[in-house]
Amino acid sequence: MTNPEAAVAAPSNETPPASHRWEPEIAFTDAESAQRWLKSLPLTNVTQLTQALLAQLRAMTQLSYPPRERARIAELIREQVAHLHTELARRYAGKPQPAAERELEAAEQAIGLWQALWAQYSACLKPLLDRDPELDGVKAKVLQRGLYVGKQLVLVYGLARRSPPASVWQEIHAYFRLAEMLDCAGTAVSDELMPNAVGISCHSTYSHALLLALADPCAMTVKQIELTDRWLQMWARKVFPYPQERETEGPVLLVDLNAGVAAGLVSSAPKQPAESMRFGYPHKLAMSVRGRLKRLQTGADPAELQLGRDCSIDQCAILLSHLDAKWYQLPRSTLGVPTAVVSLCGGGLQAAYFRITGRTFDRGDSLSNSTYQGGARALSLQTLGAVTAYDRGRDEAERTYAWEEWHGTYEPREASLTRLSHMLHRWFLEQLVIVRDPERLRLAHMTRVAQGDEGALHVSMRFYSAAPQALAVRAITSALAEDPPMPCVLLPETPDDKASLILPPRTFNPGRLVRTVEGGPERKWRLTRLLQRGADFERVSFEPES
């Protein structure tokens, strides 16, 4: 939709011909009966509650309600939809892509619920345009509620690792334009579903949606998305979409109300902007973010900075740095960046070991209780070190850790790639990735995963600078015992990075000793610091142990 008039001309508000009219079974006729019906629902059964709410919301679109009454009913149902949003998110949020059937179904249910609720607020837009006296006193609240639903859809798509379609942004823009036309964009309203919010209005909720999308949820963990959404309740009002350009020394948040996309960060506005352009200035927001970053560096408690008690200093610092880059630093141009066709393989350290060495990793579980006494060391070396021409797991590993062909921009330290269909692996954020280009084998970790249209998947990754070396190592638990062997990748020191080890999750313990048992001369390393906690690996620094 490109304007409020188009926004209210939705088919759901039309009355079908009598010969084709469907009379739905509605469970209520007004807000009071709707409240009684909602209290009777099985709140603990997510499936039944979802089906019941969807059926009633869709039935409402076929029936005629006074606009004020429709808004009151929608307000009651909104609380239940928000509850279901949380429950359904447990099933799909942040899951590997392409999504499994159950995950995809849960995401579609969440989207369907918010869309069906949105239709109720959209049905009130034409009466608002017609200056219906019943809505005159609540126009700001009705429009803010519609913008809130749009913001929630941006959140759902982000949690599902998807980009909102153009229709969602067209609708969000139309709501804000109508708020401008009715001169209520800055009118303060209350909203119990935004407990941390400051200065709630159509303006703040619209900016919330724009900034949430600009933060790029597909490059964030579920925890980071939830924290950003919560922080924006307090900060979104710091950015206002002005209809005229203002003087500024920093970047401009540019949005076109006629477009089906979110806002973009640019160095300056067009010389002759269209009437539909709006201009936001994130300088105050950046000052707030950077001020908190500085205080965190001096040891300030995140709770003191209104960041919450459920996040550590490191978690807050990483996320605030990401948000500062997205909200106040111009995106890097990809003009002239080289492209390539490369092969990717997922599967964690087992896959990395196989692809680097050309053979599968043998845990040697029969040695898990061995000690240094007697011939234990000889037995360990015999079992792990001896390599025969036959690798009984090779065929299965070739299928499990198959190469996928991807194409896109390819640079020395990062890449952004696309695969159109037929995924052999499922990809997720902070996953270990083995990359094969025409010249070498490299190791990387995923920094962004986004499901696109028609089955296409878009990923970004950051490379480790060193040439990976696969090893088998054991953690020494005592003088007489060792843990079972585990795959490991050594990243030697380079001009860009110090040497590090990539180990299985939950391996790191400060001061822990590990020793090599395959892949090179026997060495001992003492683990010193956790450098990175990935989704299926840990990268740690170490010191050689004599």
What confidence tens digit (pLDDT) does each residue in 99-157 have? 999 999 999 999 999 999 999 999 999 999 999 999 999 999 999 999 999 999 999 99
pLDDT at 133: 93
Identify the helix (H) or strand (E) that includes residue 451: strand 441-451
What's the rounded mean pLDDT across residues 492-501? Answer: 95
Give the C-alpha separation, 312 to 102, whole Å. 32
pLDDT at 301: 96
pLDDT at 2: 43
Rounded to the nearest integer, the mean pLDDT of the chain is 89
Give residue 163's identity as a one-letter amino acid code.
Answer: S
Instruction: Report if residue 119 sits inside a domain.
Output: yes
Residue of higher predicted confidence among 2 and 416: 416
Say if strands 432-436 and 339-345 run parallel, antiparallel, or are unpaired. Answer: antiparallel
pLDDT band at 375 (very low <50, low <70, confident <90, very high): very low
Give the C-alpha separation, 243 to 278, whole Å. 5
Please check whether residues 211 and 342 belong to one and the same domain. no
pLDDT at 256: 97
Instruction: Report if residue 225 sits inside a domain.
Output: no
> In sequence order, what are the beta bridge partners of 444?
433, 463
Please check whether residues 406 and 543 belong to one and the same domain. yes
> In sequence order, what are the beta bridge partners of 446?
461
CB burial string 206-236: b at 16+ within 10 A, e below: bbbbbbbbbbbbbbbbbebbbbbbbbbbbbb
Nearest of 26, 50, 62 to residue 112 by alpha carbon: 50
Instruction: Report if residue 331 sits inside a domain.
Output: no
**pLDDT value at 250 more than 70:** yes
Instruction: Name the domain boundary from 193, 216, 239.
Output: 216
Q: What is the DSSP letter of 163?
A: P
pLDDT band at 365 (very low <50, low <70, confident <90, very high): very low
Give the C-alpha separation, 248 to 41, whole Å. 53
Cα distances (angstroms) measured from residue 319 to each of 226, 307, 325, 326: 11, 11, 10, 11
Please check whether residues 511 and 376 belong to one and the same domain. yes
The crossing angle, in degrees rounded to 10, of helices 139-159 and 101-122 is 170
Residue of higher predicted confidence among 380 and 396: 396
Is 483:462 a contact under the CB 8 Å cutoff? no
pLDDT at 269: 87
Cα–Cα–Cα angle for 380, 385, 388, rounded to 5 degrees? 125
Q: Is the pTM of this model over 0.85?
A: yes
Residue for token pair 């995950």:
103
Instruction: Name the domain boundary from 181, 199, 216.
Output: 216
Instruction: Report if residue 539 sits inside a domain.
Output: yes
Residues with Cβ within 8 Å of 362's Cβ and at least 6 positions away in sequence, in order, are: 383, 384, 393, 485
**pLDDT value at 502 more than 70:** yes
**pLDDT value at 385 more than 90:** no
| Residue 448: both structure tokens together | 């962004």
Please check whether residues 377 and 509 belong to one and the same domain. yes
pLDDT at 370: 38
Give the C-alpha separation, 278 to 326, whole Å. 19
> CATH number for the domain including 27?
1.20.190
Give the C-alpha separation, 374 to 380, whole Å. 12
Instruction: Report if residue 36 sits inside a domain.
Output: yes
What's the rounded mean pLDDT across residues 464-483? Answer: 86
pLDDT at 139: 96
pLDDT at 389: 54
Give the C-alpha separation, 527 to 53, whole Å. 53
| Residue 452: both structure tokens together | 């696109």
Is 339:410 a contact under the CB 8 Å cutoff? yes
Percent of the chain with pLDDT over 70: 90
Give the C-alpha separation, 259 to 176, whole Å. 13
| Residue 14: both structure tokens together | 């039309």
**pLDDT value at 249 more than 50:** yes
Query: Domain residues for 383?
Result: 337-546
Q: What is the DSSP letter of 430?
A: T
pLDDT at 479: 62
What's the rounded mean pLDDT across residues 384-389? Answer: 46
Cα distances (angstroms) measured from residue 479 to each of 256, 476, 512: 67, 7, 13
- pLDDT tens digit sequence for 217-243: 999 999 999 999 999 999 999 999 999
**pLDDT value at 296 more than 50:** yes
Domains contained in the chain, number: 2
**pLDDT value at 28 more than 50:** yes
What are residue 443's phi and psi, to 5 degrees? -120, 140
Instruction: Report if residue 53 sits inside a domain.
Output: yes
Instruction: Name the domain boundary from 178, 195, 216.
Output: 216
Q: How many CB atoms lie within 10 A of CB 495?
A: 5
Residue of higher predicted confidence among 53 and 375: 53
- pLDDT tens digit sequence for 3-20: 444 444 343 434 444 334
Instruction: Report if residue 256 sits inside a domain.
Output: no
Instruction: Report if residue 267 sits inside a domain.
Output: no
Nearest of 477, 476, 483, 530 to residue 503 by alpha carbon: 530
**pLDDT value at 255 more than 70:** yes
